[in-house]
Amino acid sequence: MITRTPMIQLISASLLGFGLIAPIQAAKVDSNALRAQAGAFFKPLPATMPGSEQDTQQQVTLGKELYFETELSINGTQSCNSCHRVDAGLPGVDNEKTSPGALGKRGDRNSPTVWNAGFHVAQFWDGRAPDLSAQAKGPVLNPIEMGLPDEATAVAKLEKAGYKAKFAAAFPGTENALNYQNMADAIAAFERTLITSDRFDLFLKGQNDALSSAEQQGLQDFINAGCIACHNGELLGGQMYQKMGVVNAYPNTHDMGRFAVTNNPADKFVFKVPSLRDIANTAPYFHDGGAKDLAQAIYDMGWYQLGKKLDAKQVASIETFLKALNNQQPVQTADAE
């Protein structure tokens, strides 16, 4: 069920009252106690993504090729990988504030990482696509992004590029297998293989030395600050929607977030909470790319969402923990390239 936290401060206060959040202490962190505490908020990432049990290797291989296919753009310059780069060990983003499309015009939102995307409650910042297949259909026909005029054009371009036999092999027994839905399904099958691996999960599973003392202190500070009100679960986020500026108003009042999807006044300035997995590599941050680096993002979230002015030591400590979420397992893309 999709939920939204109305008052993060109240949640944080409640957790503190129940003893789930310890007061900030300068003493050395007890690793076992910290793990037990963290277990109330976080879980390791599963080894497989929902829906992957139905994917075949042929579909994954086709989807990987399509992910890099520039023929899916109006002028043959743009692919999924252009904005969500997974080549060369990159973190599923282009590290741009907003991404340029095939014709050079930029969108108005930051491109989120494709890593772990299939674990999210929905796709896009405003949640307008329910799953990876639905998401894959959007950018191809978006005039600012890949710019194709319609589905038929996409199918015709893929057929001309020699994909007919590949679709038939990936979707056997299907008449006219080269179609727009199968294109999206194949891309989604590939994206369901993009699961990060990091040292935090090793710590959660019992390996104390997977995190340094400073990283463990950063985790403690992350919990103490109240960040866990939204950034929790397997992804440390990605499972709920939240207003941008719960306590103090966010300066960007142009983008109305989910309101454009639901037309519900309660959804004004509401966005999907991002995952924090591999977050240190995906700058700039927020839906509009408004935070240029991780330290700024941490400070800003403390102010806009929690009503707290985190000091430099707290920011640095939390940043140290978040860097422990760096992906250790980049996708291999040589064959697609």
What are the tens digits of pLDDT across the range 159-217? 999 999 999 999 999 999 999 999 999 999 999 999 999 999 999 999 999 999 999 99
Which of 138, 171, 191 is the C-terminal boundary of a domain? 191
Q: Is 335 inside any structural domain?
A: no
Q: How far apart are CA 155 and CA 164, in angstroms?
A: 9
Q: From 299, 311, 324, select the one nearest 214 (Cα to Cα).
A: 324
Q: From 73, 144, 154, select the one nearest 104 (Cα to Cα).
A: 144
Do the Cβ atoms of 83 and 138 come closer than 8 Å? no
Which of 160, 191, 222 is the C-terminal boundary of a domain? 191
Bridge partners for 291 per DSSP: 285
145 is catalytic: yes
Same domain, 151 and 181: yes
Q: Which domain holds residue 18?
A: 8-45+197-323
Q: Is 332 inside any structural domain?
A: no
Per-residue model confidence as pLDDT tens digits over 76-101: 999 999 999 999 999 999 999 999 99
Annotated active-site residue in 69, 71, 145, 191: 145
Cα 185 to its chain centre, rounded Å, is 19
Please give the tally of structural domains in the chain. 2
Same domain, 161 and 208: no
Tell whether pTM > 0.85. Answer: yes
User: Read out DSSP for 215-268?
Assistant: HHHHHHHHHHHTGGGTS-BTTTSSS-EEES-SSS--S--S--BTHHHH--GGGT
Q: Is 330 inside any structural domain?
A: no
Q: From 272, 279, 278, 273, select the one nearest 296 (Cα to Cα).
A: 279
Which of 141, 156, 191 is the C-terminal boundary of a domain? 191
Query: How many C-beta atoms lie closer than 10 Å to residue 311's C-beta?
Result: 11
* pLDDT of 330: 77
Distances (CA, A) of 281 to 87, 150, 276, 329: 14, 34, 10, 13
Same domain, 36 and 86: no
Same domain, 185 and 65: yes
